[in-house]
């Protein structure tokens, strides 16, 4: 498990592009027959991916957690962005296809990941945050997810937001999770930009054409920085940072948050004319 420390907004204002990438970009989420994990100090979120190809993968218990098992004091959200696969939790199996999800509550001890076919392996994107309350393990099919359509083609941000783990969806202790799909011809996500000081956020960009990329904006609204992000790469976004992006072609991304509250609308917006 990789480990990422925090950086203050004053530090970040002096960072080079490489320093930004080293601290805030996770370049490899999925690796054949491995579970890749990154622990960020921001709200103690763990960001990762499981890609079972030729074998079933078991969720291990990294020493850094100092726990008896991974989810002893944590909860986990899993969204599949690949082929069909199965998440098994304490003997209960959840079969999910692309863009369906599984939530695992605090206290779940044994977790495994497998794919239906090695030719089209599942790609399980994982977010895990600390939890002080237990909620039941459950799966949610994409067709049952609460959706909201926003933006327009005229402003290049026509998109559909899918809310998986949130106040009106899968119940959790503090984890919030969902995804956004942009319509063809639209490139902007999360515009106008916003921050939410009470929780961090992480983005996984997926379904990004291999010949294209997303220009991800971060930093304070009046001192933005940028990172070029490619398919199946993730961004760690501190609570004080904006998190917007523009692609060279339409794409999708999974967003996930943890922190003081689960209020999806808790956002402090910055007007476009004020961005710097």
pLDDT digits (tens, 9 = 90+) for 124-140: 999 999 999 999 999 99
Question: Which residues lie closer than 8 Å to 218 by C-beta, 6 or more apart?
Answer: 20, 24, 224, 225, 226, 227, 235, 237, 241, 242, 243
pLDDT digits (tens, 9 = 90+) for 90-101: 999 999 999 999
Nearest to 185 by CA among 148, 159, 150: 159
Question: How far from the centroid of its chain's Cα atoms is residue 218's Cα?
Answer: 16
> What predicted TM-score, i.e. pTM, was given to this entire model?
0.96
Q: Given this model, what pLDDT does residue 264 score?
A: 77
Q: Is the pLDDT of residue 123 over 80?
A: yes
pLDDT digits (tens, 9 = 90+) for 216-239: 999 999 999 999 999 999 999 999
Is the Cβ–Cβ distance between 116 and 54 less than 8 Å? Answer: no
Q: Could you tell me which residues are beta bridge partners of residue 164? A: none
Which domains, and CATH codes, for the chain? 9-274 (2.60.120.10)
The percent of residues in the chain predicted with pLDDT above 70, rounded, is: 100
71: left (phi over 0), alpha (psi -120 to 50) or beta: alpha
Nearest to 35 by CA among 55, 50, 54, 45: 50
List C-alpha distances in Å: 5 to 23, 41, 44, 46, 273: 8, 5, 10, 12, 32
Is the Cβ–Cβ distance between 161 and 118 less than 8 Å? Answer: no
Residue 155's φ and ψ, nearest 5 degrees, are -105, 15
């Amino acid at each position: 498990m990789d480990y990422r420390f925090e950086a203050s907004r004053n530090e970040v204002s002096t960072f080079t592009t490489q320093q930004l990438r080293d601290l805030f970009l996770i370049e490899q989420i999925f690796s054949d027959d491995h579970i890749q994990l990154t622990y960020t100090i921001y709200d103690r979120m763990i960001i990762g991916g499981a890609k079972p190809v030729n074998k079933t993968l078991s969720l291990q218990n990294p020493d850094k957690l100092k726990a008896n098992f991974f989810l002893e004091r944590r909860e986990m959200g899993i969204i599949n962005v690949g082929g069909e696969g199965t998440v098994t939790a304490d003997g209960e199996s959840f079969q999910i296809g692309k863009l369906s999800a599984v939530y695992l509550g605090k206290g779940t001890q044994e977790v495994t990941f497998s794919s239906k076919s090695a030719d089209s392996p599942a790609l399980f994107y994982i977010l895990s945050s600390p939890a002080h309350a237990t909620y039941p393990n459950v799966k949610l099919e994409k067709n049952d997810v609460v959706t909201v359509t926003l933006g327009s083609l005229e402003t290049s941000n026509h998109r559909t937001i899918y809310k998986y783990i949130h106040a009106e969806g899968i119940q959790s202790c503090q984890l919030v999770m969902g995804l956004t799909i942009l319509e063809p011809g639209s490139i902007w996500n999360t515009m106008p930009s916003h921050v939410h000081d009470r929780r961090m956020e992480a983005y996984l960009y997926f379904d990004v054409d291999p010949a294209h990329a997303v220009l991800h904006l971060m930093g304070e609204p009046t001192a933005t920085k940028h990172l070029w992000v490619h398919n199946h790469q993730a961004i760690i976004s501190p609570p004080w940072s904006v998190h917007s992006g523009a692609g060279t072609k339409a794409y999708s991304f999974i967003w996930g948050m943890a922190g003081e509250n689960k209020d999806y609308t808790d956002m402090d917006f910055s007007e476009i004319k004020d961005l710097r």
